[in-house]
Amino acid sequence: MTSIFVNLPVADVAAARAFYTGLGYTANEQYSGDQSACMVLNDAVNAMLMSETHFREFIDKDIADTRKTTGAIFALNVASRAEVDEVADKALALGGSEPKPPQDHGFMYVRTFADLDGHHWELATFAG
C-alpha cells in the first residue's frame, strides 16, 4: 500500500500535536521528536507536523503564511456525516477556525476547518 506523509510547518509542535490528538488522531512515535510529530490520520495518510526551523531544512523557498494564503486543501473522506461534524466541531473547540460554512450537495456533505497554523482541511462524506 502506498502511504502519504503531508509535511506541514507549524509554529509550535507541541500545540499542533495536542490539536491533532484532540481530533482523535494518534502520534507515530517512531517519526516524532522535539522538532516534529507524525500524526496518523488513517492507514494511508500521515500529517508530519514540523517546526518551521526543521521544515526549512527541506526547502529552498519561503514558508507560506497559511494564515493569510491557502497553498493547498487537504481533503479527507470519512465514513459518515456524523463523523464530518464530530471532527469539525472538535477542531473548532480546540482553537481551529471554519473558513466556510458546511456544504450539503445532496450526494456529498463537506465541512472545512483551518488548524492552529491556518492549514486548510476539508472533511467530506459521500454517505448519508
Q: What is the pLDDT of residues 30-44, one digit of tens each?
A: 999 999 999 999 999
In this structure, the answer to whether residues 70 and 127 fall within a common structural domain is yes
Are the beta carbons of 122 and 73 closer than 8 angstroms?
yes
pTM tops 0.85: yes
Q: Summarize pLDDT for 70-99 with one digit per residue, the tens.
A: 989 999 999 999 999 999 999 999 999 999
- Do both 54 and 21 map to the same domain? yes
Same domain for 42 and 79, yes or no, is: no
Angle at 19 between CA 17 and CA 117, to 5 degrees: 90
* Judgement on whether residues 75 and 120 belong to the same structural domain of the protein: yes
Q: What CATH number does residue 1 fall under?
A: 3.10.180.10
Q: What's the start-to-end Cα distance of the chain, in Å?
A: 28
Q: What is the mean pLDDT of the segment spanning 43-70?
A: 95
- Tell whether 48 and 74 lie within a shared domain: no
CA-wise closest residue to 42 among 16, 75, 18:
75
Same domain, 10 and 38: yes
Amino acid at 112: T
Are residue 5 and residue 38 in the same domain, yes or no? yes
